[in-house]
Amino acid sequence: MKILLIEDDARTAQHIVKSLRQHGHVVDQAANGRDGLLLAAGEAYDVMIVDRMLPGLDGLAIVKTIRGAGVRTPVLFLTTLGGIDDRVEGLEAGGDDYLVKPFAFAELLARINALARRPPITANETKLRVSDLEMDVVKRIVARAGRRIELQPQEFKLLEYLMRHAGRVVTRTMLLENVWEFHFDPQTSVVETHISRLRSKIDRDFDVELIQTVRGAGYCLRAPA
């Protein structure tokens, strides 16, 4: 695999780069946010490992920028910030996984391999449509009745999941696992909050509501009968 590491701690970076190369991976490394962003936006990588706290430009800003530019490379956040709110913030910014320092290299390697095994976006349908709601996954464009709708990275990811499961009920647990990559309940209202935000953008000012709550079960995105 070709991996990008954006990490400002020299000792940590040296350890990761050396270990990854010993496992046969090609590794590029940047020690600050701005250099990291240039590499992330200009080169093709299989996985990116991004420290959250960086000089010049923090990790959240890097990931938000590349996601806004349509870069879909899986991102693993590596950080000392291990609180639930910190994890949620990182995932909402467009990260795919989150590992807290200090860490065992074996776990880092396992997480990288898991991210790399995910099917590329080109393997799926890239243009989705439900009623008058349209999404271009590659260009990251969402529109309803021809009207462009601007979404944050995590809102886009949530809507994409709902559209790929249109007509089916998706539970809160399914959303936590597949949109936020939580395999536990963080005991927050992150799902409800994002559904509410998404409704305000997708359904407000339109006669028909597409995002529906199925009482006691979850949510369903479906066209009117």
Q: Residue 150: phi, psi to the nearest 5? A: -90, 130
State how far the alpha carbon of 25 is from the alpha carbons of 5, 13, 109, 178, 220, in Å. Answer: 12, 15, 11, 27, 41
d(CA 137, CA 132): 16
Q: What is the pLDDT of residue 184?
A: 66
pLDDT in tens, 123-136: 457 889 999 999 99
pLDDT in tens, 195-211: 999 999 999 889 899 99
pLDDT in tens, 90-107: 888 888 888 888 889 999
Q: Summarize the confidence of residues 65-80 as an average pLDDT.
A: 85
The yes-or-no verdict on residue 22 having pLDDT over 70 is: yes
- Hunting for tokens 């990588």 — which residue is that? 45
- Domains belonging to the chain, first-starting first, are 2-116 (3.40.50.2300), 122-221 (1.10.10.10)
Report field, pTM of the whole predicted structure over 0.85? no
- Hunting for tokens 């994890």 — which residue is that? 87
Q: What angle do CA 7, 10, 11 make, to 5 degrees?
A: 110
Other CB atoms within 10 Å distance of the CB of residue 129: 12
Q: What is the pLDDT of residue 123?
A: 42
pLDDT in tens, 33-43: 999 999 998 88
Q: What is the pLDDT of residue 183?
A: 66
The yes-or-no verdict on residue 82 having pLDDT over 80 is: no
Q: What is the pLDDT of residue 5?
A: 96
